[in-house]
Amino acid sequence: MSRVSCLSLAILAALSTTVSAEENPASEQAVERILVQGDFRQEQLQKLPGSILVLSQQDISRQNAQHLDDLLQQAANVNFSAGASRGRFLQIRGIGERSEFVDSINPSVGVLIDGIDYSALGVSSLADVQQVEIFRGPEATRFGANAMAGMLNLTSNAPSFNSEGQLNATLANYDSYQVAGAYSTAINEQWAYRVAVDHQSSDGFIDNIFLNRDDTNHIDETSARAALRYLASKDLTLDFIAHYRDIHNGYDAFSLDRNRSTLSDKPGQDLQQSRALAIKADYQGLNWANVYTQLSGLTADTDYGFDEDWSFEGIHPDGYATEDRYLRVRDQWSLEQRFLGKDQTDWVAGWYASGQKTELERQFWNWDLWQAAQFFSDFKRQNLALFGEWSTDLGDGWSLTSGARAERYDDEYSDSNGITQQNNELMWGGKLSLSLALTDSTSLYLLGSRGYKAGGVNGEALGKALGSGSEEMSDYLNSKANFSPETLWNAEFGVKGSSADQTIVSRVAVFAMWRDDMQVNSWVTRDQSFVGFIDNAASGRNHGLELESRVQLTDSWTLFANAAWLESEIRGFITEEGVDKTGRDQAHAPHYQYSVNSEWLLTTDLSFNLGLQSKAAFYYSDSHDARSEQMHLVNLRLQYQWDQVQLAIWSRNALDEEYGVRGFYFDNDPRDGWSNGTEKVYEQLGEPRRIGITASYQF
What's the pLDDT score for residue 368?
80
Question: What pTM does this model have?
Answer: 0.94
CB 163 within 8 A of CB 182: no
Helices (H) and strands (E) in the chain, counts: 6, 39
Smallest CA-to-CA distance from 616 within 59, 77, 2, 10 is with 77
Q: 3-class SS at 414?
A: strand
Q: 3-class SS at 691?
A: strand
CB 393 within 8 A of CB 382: no
Q: What distance in Å separates the CA atoms of residue 426 and residue 421, rounded to the nearest whole number? A: 17
DSSP string, 190-238: SEEEEEEEEEEEE--S-EETTTTBS-TT-EEEEEEEEEEEEE-SSSEEE
Smallest CA-to-CA distance from 513 within 550, 539, 537 is with 539
Residue 415 CA, distance from chain mean position: 29
DSSP string, 464-514: HHHT-S-HHHHHHHHTTSEE--EEEEEEEEEEEEE-TTSSEEEEEEEEEEE
Q: What distance in Å separates the CA atoms of residue 327 and residue 314, rounded to the nearest whole number? A: 28
Q: What distance in Å separates the CA atoms of residue 484 and residue 428, rounded to the nearest whole number? A: 15
CB 481 within 8 A of CB 457: yes
**Residue range 415-424, pLDDT digits in tens:** 999 999 999 9
Q: What distance in Å separates the CA atoms of residue 623 and residue 581, rounded to the nearest whole number? A: 8
What's the pLDDT score for residue 15?
53
Beta bridge partners, 153, equal 112, 133
| Average pLDDT per block of 10 residues along the chain, 699 residues long | 50 50 43 85 92 93 87 93 90 95 92 96 89 97 96 97 97 98 98 98 97 97 98 98 97 96 97 98 96 98 97 94 96 98 90 98 90 96 97 95 97 95 95 94 95 94 79 85 96 95 95 97 74 93 97 96 97 90 96 97 96 97 93 97 96 97 92 84 96 97
Domains of the chain: 3-682 (2.40.170.20)
Q: 3-class SS at 3?
A: helix
